[in-house]
Structure 1
Amino acid sequence: MTAALEASLARIGRFDPELCAFTEVWPDEARARARTASRLPLGGLPFAVKGRAGIRSYAARRLIAAGGVPVGATSVPGPGTHWQTWGQGAHGRTVNPWRPDRTPGGSSAGSAVAVAADMVEMATGSDGAGSVRIPASWCGVFGLKTTGGLLPSPDSTGLASPGVLAASAARAETYLRHVLAGYAPRPVRLPVPAAYSPDLGFASVDPDVAEVVRAAVDRLAAAGVIRLVRDPVTLLDPAETWMAVRRKSPTTASGALRAANDRTLDAFFARAPLLLSPVTPNRPHGHEGPGDVYSTALTWAFNLSGHPAASAPAGFTPDGCPAGLQLVTDRGTDAELLAVACAVERALPPRPHRFS
């Protein structure tokens, strides 16, 4: 894997001044680790960590123990970016690799960009409202938020779950296999019964985003990966409830709404194993901010409920922005989710590479 490490460091040196995905790069430490990692399961696989504190995370420690080699810390939002949709890298503001005038999403901004530009195949992330899935969607890579409580998280509210940004669902499975003790693959039988909700019952979705994601769903059905079932999923808008939980000031109303959505999702997953939706209601916005649209509208319900959820590349809107397909399964079925995601990737067009 020393060749892979040198290739990773070379691409960081070439593209990061433009993309600003990294706050720090550790070539000397990475080379030293690689020399002792060749006989371990990951064999010196280069990966990136989210933020300067990421090297101390549970996931990073597990990956290093398995022979992974951290190459650097990726950007997260800096001061003044309260909407947390772009990072601050060593060279400046992190940009979307497909549209530099647009945000890459956040808060795992640099991790998504590093994977999208093939600087690494895998980067750690964390997802408290969509912070893995949104940048994965807007940068055209795979992103996984694990089941709430499955892996250790420093977030005392219980909203944030560890996750990974990866070049593919198969590479994301590499992450989970080495981070989660006792992980075992769970093959799934195709076609998987699935319901598609374009808006989860409350969101207003950009027509171009809706069209891209719906076309991906139809392609999966035609390929025999999913069998669409007529089972509308109508949730209550969780925005105020999420904010109350984040503030640690839940109210009777927020608790009732959370319980109602949990009942709806529990009833759905008792009938079908897979829920599909767009990842975001909007395409990547400009660096000035998101305006009045919550990019988290379709993601944060599953931080409240604790369900595992992933973003798979679905295609591009006419203005060249990636859009993501959200896949959600029942709590604790992360392995099954990854198996479905691998089948989804095989049926959809290969992920395009932004930089040669």
Structure 2
Amino acid sequence: MTEAGGAGEVGRALERIGREDPRLSAFIEVWPERALADAGRAGGLPLAGLPFAVKGPTGIRSYAARRLIAAGGVPVGATSVPGPGTYWQTWGLGAHGPTVNPWRRDRTPGGSSAGSAAAVAADLVGLATGSDGAGSVRIPAAWCGVFGLKTTNGLLPSPDRTGLASAGVLTRSAAGAETYLRSVLDTYEPVPPALPLPAVYSPDLGYAEVDPEVAAVVRRAVARLVAAGVVRLVDRTCGLLDPREAWQAVRGGSSSPGAKEVRRANDTALDALFARVPLLLTPTTPNRPHGHDGPGGLFSTALTWAFNLSGHPAASVPAGFTADGCPVGLQLVAERGADAPLLAMARAAEDALPTVRP
């Protein structure tokens, strides 16, 4: 990309944000003057003026943002995160009010990387940073119909002292996430998968109550992967213990003997699974996007936070839509440290899952 091309791409992103964000409220701040100036200086660098967004008011200071900028990426603004006044995190509050799900204005985009997912889904930017402590990248990716990656815990620096939160990214596809990893890691080696991949499919991880229509969308997506020769399902399942209390104990800074036992048992089960197969498939969330008044008693994190405790990399790939027009995500989980192979698996899955838009 030429210097003029980088500035042009940034200008187009700013124009789209200016036109669409009053409706979506995906951003809390936009930086047009800085972005255009940075784009003019980005020529010759690997990202050459690629516009991207950062999560929340502190996102510009994150390790990932600094590496993206050093590679020639241009931050155009900070995206919305949950605002004050509620304990639930699957929503966002932008400069123009609650963040809107681009597919359903009456539904939340998920969170806490709410604005990042909405901005990518609405084509305001092609890449936005996120962080994932319980599903905060994967849930909004699933509910906005985009790709979301939670990296292996500890792969990238994180300010979270509990060790639960990992850096992540929201993009239109796994290829965009590869661009992210190439920029933020010192070395990145793609690992082409040998298809079909042996995989285990678990509809509920042994404990979650999944919306029947969400389960049906994911089941059809898995069947398409099998029919396309992308995966070969192994006659095994993945039954874990519900990690809710263990996650809450770690987040709260204390851990009971029961919480430690849940974590140990789940780690043992996952270690045994990934010793036999490279891929685990599940729904990303047990429910579809809820309204702006909250999720009620549902835990949208039920199928994601197990892997924040265990540390495994996990991604959400668009799987399809429910009959009422809500996107559904398919979660792919790989062995710890297998972030590059996971992205290659995700690219193969995307190729076999052409999304039928409602």
In the superposition, the TM-score normalised over structure 2's length comes to: 0.97
Matched AA of 1:307: H
Please show how residues 293-308 of structure 1 align to structure 2 within 5 Å: 293-308=298-313
Q: Distance in 1 between matches of 2:356 and 2:100?
A: 19
Q: Give the corresponding residue for 2:83.
A: 78
Deviations 1:280-327 (A, max 9, x none): 000001111111110000000000000000000000000100000000
Once the two structures are TM-superposed, the CA of residue 351 in structure 1 deviates from its matched residue by: 7.7
Please show how residues 102-121 of structure 1 align to structure 2 within 5 Å: 102-121=107-126
Q: Give the corresponding residue for 1:245.
A: 250
For 1:224, what is the secondary structure of its paired residue? coil
Q: Give the corresponding residue for 1:341.
A: 346
Matched, 1:234 2:243: no
The runs of at least 4 consecutive aligned structure 1 residues that moved more than 2 Å come to none
Q: Give the corresponding residue for 2:272.
A: 267
Q: Give the corresponding residue for 1:222.
A: 227
Unaligned 5+ runs, structure 1:
none
Q: Distance in 1 between matches of 2:321 and 2:12?
A: 28
Once the two structures are TM-superposed, the CA of residue 38 in structure 1 deviates from its matched residue by: 1.3
Matched AA of 1:135: P
Q: Distance in 2 between matches of 1:6 and 1:32?
A: 11
Q: Give the corresponding residue for 1:19.
A: 24
Deviations 1:159-179 (A, max 9, x none): 000000001100011001110
Q: Distance in 2 between matches of 1:256 and 1:105?
A: 30
Q: Give the corresponding residue for 2:293.
A: 288
Once the two structures are TM-superposed, the CA of residue 334 in structure 1 deviates from its matched residue by: 0.1
- Give yes or no for contact 1:185–1:336 (8 Å, CA) kept in 2: yes
Q: Give the corresponding residue for 2:96.
A: 91
- Give yes or no for contact 1:140–1:351 (8 Å, CA) kept in 2: no
- Give yes or no for contact 1:141–1:351 (8 Å, CA) kept in 2: no
Q: Give the corresponding residue for 2:33.
A: 28
Q: Give the corresponding residue for 2:204.
A: 199
342-351 or 26-35, which deviates more: 342-351
Q: Give the corresponding residue for 1:69.
A: 74
Q: Distance in 2 between matches of 1:351 and 1:294?
A: 27
Number of positions where the alignment pairs a residue of Structure 1 with one of Structure 2? 353
Unaligned 5+ runs, structure 2:
1-5
- Give yes or no for contact 2:82–2:112 (8 Å, CA) kept in 1: yes
For 1:131, what is the secondary structure of its paired residue? coil
Deviations 1:58-77 (A, max 9, x none): 00000000000000000000
- Give yes or no for contact 2:148–2:315 (8 Å, CA) kept in 1: yes
* Equivalent residue for 1:332, pick from 317, 328, 337: 337
Matched, 1:279 2:284: yes
Deviations 1:252-305 (A, max 9, x none): 110011000000000000010000000000000111111111000000000000
Matched AA of 1:325: L
Identity of aligned residues (%): 72
- Give yes or no for contact 1:45–1:69 (8 Å, CA) kept in 2: yes
Please show how residues 36-51 of structure 1 align to structure 2 within 5 Å: 36-51=41-56
Q: Give the corresponding residue for 2:317.
A: 312
Q: Distance in 2 between matches of 1:42 and 1:218?
A: 37
Q: Give the corresponding residue for 2:173.
A: 168
Q: Distance in 1 between matches of 2:37 and 2:132?
A: 31
Q: Distance in 2 between matches of 1:351 and 1:316?
A: 8
- Give yes or no for contact 2:320–2:355 (8 Å, CA) kept in 1: no
Q: Distance in 1 between matches of 2:142 and 2:233?
A: 22
Once the two structures are TM-superposed, the CA of residue 56 in structure 1 deviates from its matched residue by: 0.4
Once the two structures are TM-superposed, the CA of residue 4 in structure 1 deviates from its matched residue by: 1.2
Once the two structures are TM-superposed, the CA of residue 350 in structure 1 deviates from its matched residue by: 4.5
Q: Distance in 2 between matches of 1:28 and 1:243?
A: 42
